[in-house]
């Protein structure tokens, strides 16, 4: 990336209260140009994104697009689409998170929306094609300098600032051995960037096991019981995994670690039935 990804990850928080000031034309153009360059996810899914301006709509017209009662809307949305295929949600989350981090460096605030929006209305807006889905959208705009009481309450409810400890997210060799945090390895900083990643209801569903004998990091998805027992059309935790992958890959790249993604299950003993192998990063 052509910006400081570590800085963007550290700065970025979910914003639910936006200024009503319009996004400057130059900023919108920079963001759209960046989005136009983000076409394919790490698993090969074709994705496309558009910055949609609904700020001119009346309150009644805006309701057609969804219920945003917990958010002071700015009227701008990043809307994307991806074709239905294996790993498409991981690809979607990966690419959209890169866009969000770029927007953060432009001074914009953002909020992921996986529910409470009208997929049909937004689909018409971006001329959704047959077999395309809109897994999630992002509200974007100039952040309000003072968080509203509602926003503070929501962040408190989902424990937005709380993160799981390293020892429950990152391992070495197997799931019984937490990763050694005492060294000065650069990858520890990349893992911290993963730890900072946003996730649906702040579940932080990613787990990573570092190989003992090579520069490999195996990524796993820790499903919630609800989503395992009652599969949904849009599994937000798969999008969360894509977000975590983007944080790791781009952070490692900035730290001068080049790597590639592959699907090659190392057959590590899993801690429970809800744990699913996803992919491996190899230097």
Instruction: Compute CA 23 distance to the chain's CA centroid, rounded to the nearest angstrom.
Output: 22
Q: Whole-angstrom Cα distance, residue 33 to residue 25?
A: 12
Residue 88 belongs to a domain: yes
Q: Do 23 and 142 lie in a common domain?
A: yes
Residue 157 belongs to a domain: no
Q: Do 107 and 9 lie in a common domain?
A: yes
Q: Do 192 and 112 lie in a common domain?
A: no
Q: Whole-angstrom Cα distance, residue 262 to residue 44?
A: 11
- Domain of residue 9: give its range: 5-152
Residue 74 belongs to a domain: yes
Q: Do 137 and 41 lie in a common domain?
A: yes
Q: Whole-angstrom Cα distance, residue 201 to residue 136?
A: 14
Q: Whole-angstrom Cα distance, residue 170 to residue 263?
A: 19
Question: Is residue 42 within 8 Å of residue 261, measured between CB atoms?
Answer: yes
Q: In CATH, what number is assigned to the domain containing residue 275? A: 3.40.109.30
- Domain endpoint, select from 117, 152, 187: 152
Question: What is the three-class DSSP state of 219?
Answer: strand
Q: Do 171 and 246 lie in a common domain?
A: yes
Q: Whole-angstrom Cα distance, residue 249 to residue 259?
A: 7
* CA-to-CA separations, 114 to 45, 165, 237, in angstroms, rounded: 19, 26, 11
Which tens digits make up the pLDDT trace of 129-172? Answer: 999 999 999 999 998 866 554 444 444 444 445 889 999 999 99
Task: Supply the angle between the helices 88-105 and 25-36 in degrees, to the nearest 10.
Answer: 150
Calculate the CA dihedral of residues 88, 50, 118, 104 and round it to 10 degrees. 90
Residue 194 belongs to a domain: yes
Helix (H) or strand (E) holding 189: helix 187-195
pLDDT for position 17? 82
Total domains in the fold of the chain: 2
For the whole model, what pTM was predicted? 0.91
Residues of the chain with pLDDT under 70: 1, 68-74, 145-161, 225-233
- Domain endpoint, select from 152, 183, 212: 152
pLDDT for position 58? 81
Q: Do 129 and 179 lie in a common domain?
A: no
- Domain endpoint, select from 130, 152, 174: 152
141 conformational bin, left if phi > 0, alpha if psi -120 to 50, beta if neither = left
Q: Do 75 and 189 lie in a common domain?
A: no
Q: Do 116 and 210 lie in a common domain?
A: no
pLDDT for position 157? 47
Helix (H) or strand (E) holding 248: helix 236-254
Closest CA to 222 of 159, 146, 147, 171: 171
Which tens digits make up the pLDDT trace of 195-214? Answer: 999 999 899 999 999 999 89
Q: Which tokens go with 279?
A: 């992919």
> Beta 137-141 vs 216-222: how paired, if at all?
unpaired
Q: Do 148 and 176 lie in a common domain?
A: no
Q: In CATH, what number is assigned to the domain containing residue 111? A: 3.40.109.10
Residue 217 belongs to a domain: yes
Residue 160 belongs to a domain: no
- Chain length of the chain: 283
């Amino acid at each position: 990336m052509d910006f400081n990804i570590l800085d963007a990850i550290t700065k970025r928080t979910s914003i639910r209260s936006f200024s009503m000031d319009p996004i400057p034309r130059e900023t919108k153009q920079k963001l759209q140009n960046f989005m136009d360059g983000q076409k394919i996810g790490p698993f090969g899914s074709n994705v496309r994104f558009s910055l949609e301006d609904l700020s001119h709509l009346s309150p009644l017209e805006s309701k057609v697009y969804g219920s945003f009662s917990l958010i002071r809307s700015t009227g701008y949305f990043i809307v994307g689409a991806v074709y239905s295929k294996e790993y498409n949600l991981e690809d979607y989350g990966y690419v959209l998170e890169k866009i969000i981090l770029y927007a953060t460096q432009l001074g914009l605030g953002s909020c992921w929306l996986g529910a409470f929006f009208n997929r049909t209305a937004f689909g018409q807006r971006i001329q959704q094609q047959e077999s395309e889905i809109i897994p999630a959208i992002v509200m974007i705009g100039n952040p309000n300098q003072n968080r509203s009481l509602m926003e503070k309450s929501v962040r408190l409810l989902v424990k937005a600032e709380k993160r799981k400890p390293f020892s429950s997210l990152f391992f070495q060799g197997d799931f019984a051995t937490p990763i050694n945090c005492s060294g000065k390895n650069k990858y520890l900083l990349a893992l911290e960037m993963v730890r900072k990643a946003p996730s649906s209801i702040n579940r932080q569903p990613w787990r990573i096991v570092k190989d003992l004998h090579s520069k490999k990091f195996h990524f796993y998805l820790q499903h919630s019981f609800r989503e395992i027992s009652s599969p949904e059309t849009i599994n937000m935790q798969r999008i969360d995994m894509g977000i975590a992958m983007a944080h790791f890959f781009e952070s490692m790249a900035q730290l001068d670690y080049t790597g590639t993604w592959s699907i090659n299950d190392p057959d590590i003993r899993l801690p429970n039935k809800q744990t699913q192998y996803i992919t491996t990063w190899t230097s």
